[in-house]
Amino acid sequence: MKLLTPLLLAASVLSASAAHAAVPKEGKLFKNPNCGCCDAYVDVLEKAGFEITVENVTDLDTVKKMAGVPEQLGGCHTLMIGDYVVEGLVPLDILNRLLTEQPDIRGVALPGMPVGAPGMPGPKARPFTIYVIEPGPTPSVYAME
C-alpha cells in the first residue's frame, strides 16, 4: 500500500503535465488586411506565448461559413486554434480557459468589436458576453467577463 501512494502521485503529476502540454499554442488568424484591431489582438496573443500565423483575406464571410460561425456571432476575425474556432476579440483568460478545459464545442465568439476588448482602444463599458459557437438562433453563453 505504501508503494501505491507514490505511484498514484506520479501518475497524477504525469497526467497533469500531459494535459498542460496538450494545450494548443499555435493558431491561424484570418482577417481583413486593413484591420488594425486584429493586428493588435495578434500582438496580445503573441505576448502571451501563442504562435499565430496571420492570413489576410478579403472574403471573411466564406471563412466564417466554413468554420460554422453563425452570422449573429460574427466578429472582425476568425482564429483557428487546436480543434476550436475563436471568433472575434475573445479575452485572453477566456481563450486560455477554452484551451485548458477543452469542452466538446465548436468554439467561442465575442460578436462585433466591443470597446475595451483586446485589440480595441478605450475602456471596457460593460461586461462581455462570450457565446458558444453552435447552430441555431439562440446561442448559449460560454462566459461573461
Query: What does the pLDDT look like over 103-116, one tens digit per residue?
Result: 999 999 999 999 99
For residues 30-45, give the mean pLDDT: 96
Percentage of the chain lying above the pLDDT 70 cut: 85
What domain count does the chain have? 1
Residue 8 domain flag: no
Task: Kindly report the CATH number assigned to the domain that includes residue 117.
Answer: 3.40.30
**For residues 119 and 8, which has the higher predicted lDDT (pLDDT)?**
119
Whether residue 83 is contained in a domain is answered as: yes
The H or E element containing residue 6 is helix 4-21
Within-domain flag for 93: yes
DSSP 8-state class, residue 33: T
Per-residue pLDDT for 21 more than 90?
no
Residue 82 pLDDT exceeds 50: yes
pLDDT of residue 130: 98
Within-domain flag for 112: yes
pLDDT of amino acid 22: 67
Question: Is 2 a domain residue?
Answer: no
What pLDDT was estimated at residue 137? 84
pLDDT at 144 over 90: yes
For residue 93, which amino acid is it? D
Burial (CB < 10 A; 0-12, 13-18, 19+), residue 131, is buried
Q: Does a structural domain hold residue 20?
A: no
Q: Which residues of 82-120 are buried (b: 16+ CB within 10 A; e: fewer)?
A: bebbbbbbbbeebbebbbeeeeebbbbbbbebbeebbbb
Which range of residues forms the domain containing residue 58? 26-144
Is residue 16 over pLDDT 70? no
Do the domain assignments include residue 106? yes
Dihedral sign computed on CA atoms, order 94, 13, 83, 79: positive
Q: Tell me how far apart the alpha carbons of residues 130 and 141 are, in angstroms, rounded to a whole number.
A: 6
β-sheet with 51-56: strand ranges across: 51-56, 26-31, 77-81, 84-88, 107-110, 129-132, 141-144
pLDDT over threshold 70, residue 34: yes
In a domain, 137, yes or no: yes
